[in-house]
Structure 1
């Protein structure tokens, strides 16, 4: 009987020891896996970007993350894949996760409006960056680039450089905020000079479409003297199209077709240096990203923020292409 009691006592002690050890390991694991977003008081911001396809968008992502690290807020950056439905799903997920604020670069101003309204109904404020949403879907603040002025700036460069002639304009997707304003500014700028005519064709921001349109347009009208694209990436297609029909001539040579775009990407700066592209209108994504996060932090702290904030355009040519302050010269890639 004493032997049996001893065995039972030993078994009971063993079970208690194993249980204590197991609880201790579980607690340790929970602490080590705890993310910074779970820290009490740390604000959570969901960042829904239009796309990561373009260098500009990657730089905007970097600008947002850099400022978030300085401000001590937690950000989750998602790629909208140029698709409104994807972004609507991301808004719904952000609502379910109870984030404190959403920073949004919309794929389409009209299509994203219902998602913004849902976020507002859930008590989650929205700030737009780079793009806007339609009226009726109120946002806390809109961080934007002066796209219309950029279009005017591109037109002025062309008219000042050439004096008169025909320009080909390759646009972003119809109905998109940037395309409407850049195209409107460009057309207004050219209208100030009666010596210029413009042919406008939709290229959907796409380099491959730009290539075929350029080749076809130059074949039909060899008198085209300038090509303006709504973003820098389309200039890749323009150059391929010009070479395809034997119309590419380096800058400074007789027969050169003046090429101007908007964004100020690293690739565009390199093309300007090599004499392939003449100019670009710079919009700084690092500044935009930083301003968006700063605005978000101020709003969440109960401060008043401007309803709309614009970052200014700046013309880049061979004269200032090596300026170290240009975002394209600071960009380090993914």
Structure 2
């Protein structure tokens, strides 16, 4: 039997971090609060797994979870909402039957001031405190690119669509069609099969009769893919089929060579994070608008299935440059959440922005018998000695966010900081109409983040009439950002904009600018909570959004893959977006 390949997908996302999803378990205990969970249908294995993930987390946190099944009926969904509101729940988690139809149910909860969290499928209206889901557009792209690869860029494909009106169907279809849009692949049939196996079978039977030439099928979920598989097998034709969800039946079909692939979501994690988010709401924690859950592609080319992506309590070390920066706190929390889900023991040490402390932390971890070391360097040059210690002991090293200028590293997981700097520079150029005076506040000298963000920014403005009238290091620190900016304001009478290599410096600069009474645009980098709030209030012009929680989570996933003997790509990119 073929094994299954799990390939990491990096996702283009909006600002999407759960502020405290990675809390230490001892900090996350409920007091028996009642939380409601409305599931679109429990006839679909995916949503059964989502429910089980939520139930397990609720038990762990000491919360009472009331689960109701909408049976894919919006009227039943509305009745379920009414039922939960009469039961006195404190928070409602809802996996909508339909992104439009659910708006009425959410409005009922809004009227009662009961917070609502959507899971897997979004809502097209109503007030929702956070949405927890995979990036379905990115998943559709993954499926489309894989089919295009298998077909050599040309052929006839069928698309089996999910329930009309659901965000999952819309987004998966969008990503798939975007991916094949630049190829010679033609969609010869596109029909709705409602995420249902029986309908997938009957719809595919009809399509097979109508279409003599079909090379591949993309189904918006595994249930439809498996229904289509039955029809294709009965026809005796040779047609590739790719599904979505990585349910047990679908993964088995991939192992047996019957399905070409399935895009793996993590429904148990979606449910678990939903309950964690409910706990945070009850504790008064402010949540981000979107919490991403990573996707993976499961194909029949070797390695381990998604469901075996758990460890045996192995120790993994994480050395963080500084926990005085909210960005790295969120990175740590993402790593802690992933380690808990993957049954790994994570040991976290803080280098306090001191290379000597970083080296001591590495020595400490090596004495503790860790299997893999994740490190977020204080400095790309200074970290080389610490990595050399691990190399000498035969312990794999993975760098996070900042790279290393030497030593052996099995993979580097980070945003494309050059692209982020370019994004910031282009936006400032747009706001200034291509001319003006700007200040650049640089991060810690020697770090790859400072070097790359600065490179991208200066590349972006190099073809404009914008002049950098001051460029000074402020060490990624808010207090230094304030003091450096105060000095620059005294020295420079004409400043139109500031680009700060991170939000901490941007916020420090903001304080100085506000005190001066001058009108200066400021763009930061990281999309921390404080910076996003400042953007919303019109105080910062923009911030470039990284995803530190995902960097941490992907780091732990990479550590587990290393422990299990898998080869890793040299670089795993985590995409960026401009928040303005």
Range into which the TM-score falls when normalised by the shorter chain: 0.7 to 0.9
Report what 2:478 is aligned to: 207
Pairwise mapping of residues 99-248 of structure 1 onto structure 2 (< 5 A)? Answer: 99-135=370-406, 137-163=407-433, 164-193=435-464, 195-198=465-468, 199-247=470-518
2:420–2:576 CA contact under 8 A, matched in 1: yes
Counterpart CA distance in 2 for 1:289 and 1:277 is: 27
TM-score with structure 2 length normalisation?
Answer: 0.45
Q: CA deviation at 1:95?
A: 1.3
Render the CA deviation track for 1:242-273: whole Å, top value 9, x for unaligned: 133221xxxxxxxx311101000000011011
Q: Answer 1 or 2: higher relative contact order, Cα 8 Å, separation at least 6.
A: 1
Give the one of 498, 506, 529 matched to 1:266: 529
Q: Deviation of residue 208 (structure 1)?
A: 2.4
* Contact residue 413 and residue 551 of structure 2 kept, 8 A: yes
Aligned to 1:321: none
Mapped pair 1:275 → 2:531: no
- Residue 93 of structure 1: aligned partner: 364
| Residues 42, 208 of structure 1: alpha-carbon distance in 2 compared, 3 angstrom cutoff | closer
Please report how far the alpha carbon of residue 209 of structure 1 lies from its aligned counterpart in structure 2 after TM superposition. Answer: 2.5
Question: Contact 1:45/1:75 (CA < 8 Å) preserved in 2?
Answer: yes
Q: Which SS does the other structure have where 2:373 is aligned? A: strand
Distance 1:118 1:213 in 2: 36
After superposition, the CA RMSD in angstroms is 1.4
- Conserved? CA contact 1:87–1:112, under 8 Å: yes
CA distance in 2, matches of 1:217, 1:133: 31
Map of 1:63 onto structure 2: 334
Matched, 1:286 2:545: no
What does residue range 70-81 of structure 1 map to in structure 2 within 5 Å?
70-81=341-352
Partner of 1:16: none
| Maintained 8 Å contact 1:215/1:244 | no
Q: Is the Cα contact below 8 Å between 1:143 and 1:309 reproduced in 2?
A: yes
Counterpart check, 1:312 vs 2:571: no
Deviates more, 1:54-63 or 1:108-117: 108-117
Max Rg structure: 1
CA contact (8 A) 2:438 2:498 kept: yes
For 1:41 and 1:69, the matched residues in 2 are separated by 11
- Contact 1:144–1:311 (CA under 8 A) maintained in structure 2: yes
Q: Partners of 2:537 and 2:313 in 1: how far apart?
A: 47
Matched residue, 1:327: none
Task: Report how far residue 41 of structure 1 moved.
Answer: 4.3
User: Contact 2:510/2:522 (CA < 8 Å) preserved in 1?
Assistant: no
Give CA deviations for 1:171-217 in whole Å, capped at 9, x if unaligned: 11222211111111111111021x21113122222222322332332
Is the 1:259–1:279 Cα contact (8 Å) retained in structure 2?
Answer: yes
Residues 219, 245 of structure 1: 8 Å contact kept: no
Are residues 156 and 96 of structure 1, via their aligned partners in 2, closer, same or farther at CA, if it must alter by over 3 Å?
same
Q: SS of the residue aligned with 2:496? A: strand
Task: Please identify, of 306-315 and 109-118, the stretch whose mean Cα deviation from structure 2 is larger.
Answer: 109-118
> How much does 1:83 deviate?
0.9
Moved over 3 A (4+): none
> TM-score normalized by structure 1?
0.77
1 CA distance for matches of 2:312 and 2:479?
Answer: 48
Q: What is the alpha-carbon distance in structure 2 between the residues aligned to residue 149 and residue 165 of structure 1? A: 22
